[in-house]
Amino acid sequence: MSGIDAAMNVICICLDTFRSDIIGPGKKYSHAHTPNLDAFHADSIRFNQAFGEGQPTLQVRRGLFTGMRSFPWRYNFDRRGHWHHAPGWHKIPPEQDTVAEILLGKGYLTAMIADTYHMFKPTMNFSRGFANLDFVRGQESDNWKSGDPSVVAAQLSKHVREPVNWPKHLGLINYLLNQRHRKSKDDYSCARVFGSASDWLIENHAASPFFLWVDSFDPHEPWDPPAGYADRYCPDYQGPDFITPQAA
């Protein structure tokens, strides 16, 4: 058997701002209803003392993609074209290979399906090495859908204290415009990501070996789950349905 025939398929699922202490028994938030994750946890190898060296969205993914430390921020790349200018919010250094590039060179079919829009801003290059790419649009303040803000005025009023402060809530307005197409749970961004990943596996499962990176921005803010999930924990709440900290 050749080396390429013996290679294993790899699926990596990355969830942004995910609390590990909701999974498994005896944790601080074990009361959270996560039956599928609990079952996966029980049947898996678990690393309970694994800590990222840089926690924000892009910094973590750069470390995962390259295996290279970036803290303290030693790089000073052009960050024009994206609207977060803190240290570390920049592209992968061009001299650093990514896991997707390495596996592509070894004969893997590589794919990334993601709605983490920071990776796709102008000047970013987090898609390096992925032969297939599906950018699921519309998370947070991704500049995807535009429109008259009055279109979402009624929805906005449910998520903020009155009176509505339009300039303060521009990011939330952007998000609501992005999400106004939703008709069911399947239309939520995370569902679209995993639906696309499932479709990709159906179409490509025989194309071994493959490396699939599935990247969901949820459960990052805006914390906007289908109502049934939220009502499980606060069934009698009657106030504004805050989904972003800035809106409160």
Tens of pLDDT, residue by residue over 78-104, are 777 666 667 778 889 889 999 999 999
List all residues 6 or more positions away from 213 whose beta carbon is below 8 Å from its beta carbon. Answer: 12, 14, 100, 110, 111, 112, 113, 114, 130
Mean pLDDT of the chain: 89
| pLDDT confidence of residue 83 | 67
| pLDDT confidence of residue 1 | 36
Cis peptide before 72 (omega within 30 of 0): yes
Percent of the chain with pLDDT over 70: 94
The pTM for the full model equals 0.92
Catalogue the E-assigned strands of the chain.
10-15, 109-114, 132-135, 210-216
Helical H runs in 85-169? 99-105, 153-157
Distance CA 9, CA 123 (A): 30
Whether the pLDDT of residue 2 is over 50: the answer is no
Percent of the chain with pLDDT over 90: 62
| pLDDT confidence of residue 202 | 97
- Alpha-carbon distance values, 203 to 14, 26, 68, 211, 232 (Å): 21, 39, 33, 14, 36
Tens of pLDDT, residue by residue over 134-173, are 999 999 989 999 999 999 999 999 999 888 888 889 889 9
| pLDDT confidence of residue 18 | 81
**Nearest-CA neighbor of 176 among 157, 192, 195, 161?**
157
| pLDDT confidence of residue 190 | 96
User: Which residue type sits at 113?
Assistant: I
Distance CA 197, CA 74 (A): 35
Tens of pLDDT, residue by residue over 10-49, are 999 999 988 889 998 899 999 999 999 999 999 999 988 8
Mean pLDDT of 97-117: 97
Neighbours of 128 (CB within 10 A): 19
| pLDDT confidence of residue 207 | 92
Enter the tokens of residue 172. Answer: 């939330």
Mean pLDDT of 222-229: 91
